[in-house]
Amino acid sequence: MQLNRILKCLRIFNHYSQTKLSDEIGLSKSYISEIENEKKKPTLEIIEKYAKIFKIPASTIMLFAEVEMNNTLILKVRKFLTKKALIFFEWLIEYHEEI
């Protein structure tokens, strides 16, 4: 699920450890790990907490969930673009860690 990946990217991009995020969001570190590893699905309440902490609209985060739930041509294009954006964000995180 792409939503799990974007939540992980938001955390890493903002230099948050799972421990730091768990303290601020009010969830256990293991629960955050389960979300990031697709063992748990984040609730809307959790997505709103991520949005508040990382100062990003919840609707922007939800874009990644919407893409998975629809199959029209326009949404297929959005799905393609969000996948590419996620790949770029993950690459950016890896690149940043190397320097």
Q: How far apart are CA 58 and CA 51, in angstroms?
A: 5
Q: How far apart are CA 57 and CA 21, in angstroms?
A: 18
73 has a pLDDT exceeding 70: no
pLDDT band at 96 (very low <50, low <70, confident <90, very high): confident
Q: What pLDDT does 1 receive?
A: 58
Q: How far apart are CA 44 and CA 15, in angstroms?
A: 23
Q: What pLDDT does 67 receive?
A: 55
19 has a pLDDT exceeding 60: yes
84 has a pLDDT exceeding 90: no
Q: Which domains does the chain have, with CATH numbers?
A: 2-98 (1.10.260.40)
For the full predicted model, state whether its pTM sits above 0.75.
no
